[in-house]
Amino acid sequence: MPRRTEIETILVIGSGPIIIGQACEFDYSGTQAIRALREEGYRIVLVNSNPATIMTDPELADATYVEPISVEFIEKIIEKEKPSVILPTLGGQTALNTALELFDSGVLEKHGVEMIGAEAAVIRKAEDRDEFRQAMDNIGLKSAPSEIAHSMDEAQAAVEKIGLPCVIRPAFTLGGSGGGIAYNQEEFEQIAARGIRLSPVNEILIEKSLLGWKEFEMEVMRDRKDNCVIVCSIENLDPMGVHTGDSITVAPAQTLTDREYQHMRDASFAIMREIGVETGGSNVQFALNPADGELIVIEMNPRVSRSSALASKATGFPIAKFAAKLAVGYTLDEIQNDITKETPACFEPSIDYVVTKMPRFAFEKFPLSDSTLGTQMKSVGETMAIGRTFEESFQKALRGLEVGRVGFSGKRREFTPEELAHKLSRPAPGRIFAVYDAFLQRYTVEEVARLTGIDTWILAFLERLAHADATLEGRVLTDFGVNEMRTLKQMGFSDARLAEATNSSEAAVRAHRKELGIAVGFRLVDTCAGEFEARTPYLYSTYHWTRDEIPMQSKRRKVII
């Protein structure tokens, strides 16, 4: 299907200032989309109040307005620029909510502006808790038992039905802000009142708690011919109860059988169709009961989401760019895979490495704030790491956080069983290091799993890493032979960690390692696990390699700034 030629000018809404839950992800997606649409010859008008964005660079859009993202300002821009369509699905929740306000206040109709990517009714169906729950019922999928409330009286009646602990989710807010988990009546009253106040429609959802269930995400794309693909599956290391933005996550999903994975894939497409997202990307979140596989749909974002940036970089499939092309009428088979340059984008990436995302917190700057993690996002950023195995990618991601950690290791801390139980069962930024301590105190995988709710597959590797790390302490560097050194490097142990443990320097470790003939190599992210040749030099470092995969054209001299 050809692109829409009757469109001349497209209005793109950015995501405004950086806040928790909405950071540079949406500059990334918006910038990609603006480039892709200009390539197609459209005139792009952008509004974003955040000057520290690539998308507001004057040469990127045809007209850029650094103005507040509000109905009043945008209406003036519409009057002046006369866009035929507005694309609200790339600027996070801010853009989506603003577009909805523009629609509701009649501004779009008055000026004849069409919403592309997602219609108002679709946004409402996905975002309104009651409509969403009804939609899930229609297609035979389960959502968590829940009740809607608009006042404290309604909230009280609801919690009597649902029981405690329960989750409180305000409608139409960012990163779950204003929500939380209430364990007792006092907490419930406090969170419910706050939620009603913060929701732009004064609405909260009181939901049965699925604490301890496994959490998965699916990144889905759909085009106007109803072709649907899964770009990436993501498994949360932290179980339900921790906001996915605060969770350590791993891609692809690791612990689903093919039958479970395909069931989740079918469910994702059914949701996309029932909600009515006709083109573009969406993110669907699921909870899975590890005891019996029961599947519950948590929510769906009918837009390019925070996870889309991660999924794009994890797979080499640029979700925002393709979402923009789909919004103006292309179909997936008409778009070329950016990496192979030969095969079409209508496929599902297969990856042959493991991706770990690690949230970055900044509680040190706010010593009085509560660092317990819950349904309201608290992390301020994240790092992503690619490794050939989970261990390599996990340790790399930890180092990327720049919190002074050289990997999955730490000072040996002795805790009483009570202290450890508390540290393991309370989700908080440093919890993963309490897992380390527990393994050094000879806790079993099952015990740690029971206290943390972290999957045993993940914990088995963390146990192995912790024990390997503990044996390094006080060793003599030159005692490490080639096999042990290679094994350690493949498990993701850094030169810095080995230097620290052997009381030497990184330079000395590196020199010894080189002498043993062990060097880092680079492998390609190619979207297809090696099946086709990749033309784009997108690489990750690993110690699991035998062949130098750096493409010839990128071997020219370069400068690192």
Range 331-350, binding another protein (CB under 8 A): 332-333, 342-344, 346-350
Q: Assess 255 for contact with another protein (CB under 8 A).
A: yes
Nearer of residues 81 and 469 to another protein, judged by Cβ = 469
Q: Convert residues 167-206 into a mask of x (bound to another protein by CB under 8 A) and - (unbound).
A: ----------------------------------------
Q: Assess 510 for contact with another protein (CB under 8 A).
A: no
Residue 469 buriedness (CB in 10 A; 0-12 / 13-18 / 19+): buried
| Min separation Cβ 350 and another protein, Å | 4
What is the token pair recorded at 34?
């603006």
Positions of E strands within 309-400 = 354-360, 381-387
Q: Which residue among 145, 290, 430, 551 contacts another protein (CB under 8 A)?
A: 290
The CA-atom distances, in angstroms, between 16 and each of 80, 91, 201, 364 are: 21, 8, 21, 25
Q: Assess 456 for contact with another protein (CB under 8 A).
A: yes
What is the token pair recorded at 360?
């970055």
Strand partners, 344: 336
560: left (phi > 0), else alpha (psi -120 to 50), else beta? beta
Q: Convert residues 514-543 into a mask of x (bound to another protein by CB under 8 A) and - (unbound).
A: ---xxxxx-x----xxxxxx---------x
Residue with tokens 């109040």: 49
Number of residues lying near another protein (CB under 8 A): 74
Q: What span, in angstroms and rounded, lies between the C-alpha atoms of 382 and 148?
A: 33
What residues numbered 385-424 form the site for another protein, per CB under 8 A?
388-391
Nearer of residues 80 and 514 to another protein, judged by Cβ = 514
Nearer of residues 313 and 378 to another protein, judged by Cβ = 313
**Length, in residues, of the chain:** 561
| Min separation Cβ 145 and another protein, Å | 14
Nearer of residues 12 and 229 to another protein, judged by Cβ = 229
Name all contacts of 306-309 with Cβ < 8 Å and 24+ positions apart. Answer: 306/21, 306/22, 306/25, 306/92, 306/245, 307/217, 307/219, 307/234, 307/244, 307/249, 307/283, 308/25, 308/29, 308/219, 308/281, 308/283, 309/25, 309/28, 309/29
What residues numbered 472-501 form the site for another protein, per CB under 8 A?
483, 486-487, 489-491
Nearer of residues 375 and 527 to another protein, judged by Cβ = 527
Residue 72: CB atoms within 10 Å: 10
| Min separation Cβ 130 and another protein, Å | 22
Q: What span, in angstroms and rounded, lies between the C-alpha atoms of 445 and 2?
A: 55
| Min separation Cβ 351 and another protein, Å | 7
Structural contact between residues 323 and 89, judged by C-beta atoms closer than 8 angstroms: yes
Q: Which residue among 130, 260, 338, 447 contacts another protein (CB under 8 A)?
A: 260
Nearer of residues 331 and 502 to another protein, judged by Cβ = 331
| Min separation Cβ 146 and another protein, Å | 18
Nearer of residues 228 and 327 to another protein, judged by Cβ = 228
Residues 6+ apart with CB under 8 A from 199: 170, 171, 172, 173, 178
Residue range at the interface with another protein (CB under 8 A); choices 19-27, 146-154, 277-285, 291-299: 291-299
Closest CA to 451 of 416, 420, 412, 409: 420
| Min separation Cβ 495 and another protein, Å | 14
| Min separation Cβ 526 and another protein, Å | 10
Q: What span, in angstroms and rounded, lies between the C-alpha atoms of 49 and 61?
A: 14
| Min separation Cβ 498 and another protein, Å | 15
Nearer of residues 40 and 348 to another protein, judged by Cβ = 348
| Min separation Cβ 142 and another protein, Å | 7
Residue with tokens 């130098």: 548
| Min separation Cβ 226 and another protein, Å | 9
Nearer of residues 134 and 262 to another protein, judged by Cβ = 262
Nearer of residues 257 and 553 to another protein, judged by Cβ = 257
Torsion sign across C-alpha atoms 182, 255, 285, 11: positive
Structural contact between residues 412 and 421, judged by C-beta atoms closer than 8 angstroms: no
| Min separation Cβ 544 and another protein, Å | 6
Nearer of residues 263 and 450 to another protein, judged by Cβ = 263
Residue 276 buriedness (CB in 10 A; 0-12 / 13-18 / 19+): middle
Q: Which residue among 78, 116, 220, 229 contacts another protein (CB under 8 A)?
A: 229
| Min separation Cβ 409 and another protein, Å | 16
What residues numbered 133-162 form the site for another protein, per CB under 8 A?
140, 142
Q: Assess 454 for contact with another protein (CB under 8 A).
A: no
HEC-encoded secondary structure of 30-71? HHHHHHHHHHCCCEEEEECCCCCCCCCCCCCCCEEECCCCCH
| Min separation Cβ 140 and another protein, Å | 7
Q: What span, in angstroms and rounded, lies between the C-alpha atoms of 272 and 125?
A: 11
Q: Assess 512 for contact with another protein (CB under 8 A).
A: no
Q: Element (H or E) spanning 501, and its range?
A: helix 495-502
The CA-atom distances, in angstroms, between 6 and each of 13, 83, 243 are: 21, 11, 42
Q: Assess 257 for contact with another protein (CB under 8 A).
A: yes
Is residue 89 classed as helix, strand or coil in its secondary structure? coil
Q: Which residue among 124, 169, 265, 512 contacts another protein (CB under 8 A)?
A: 265
Q: Convert residues 35-74 into a mask of x (bound to another protein by CB under 8 A) and - (unbound).
A: ----------------------------------------
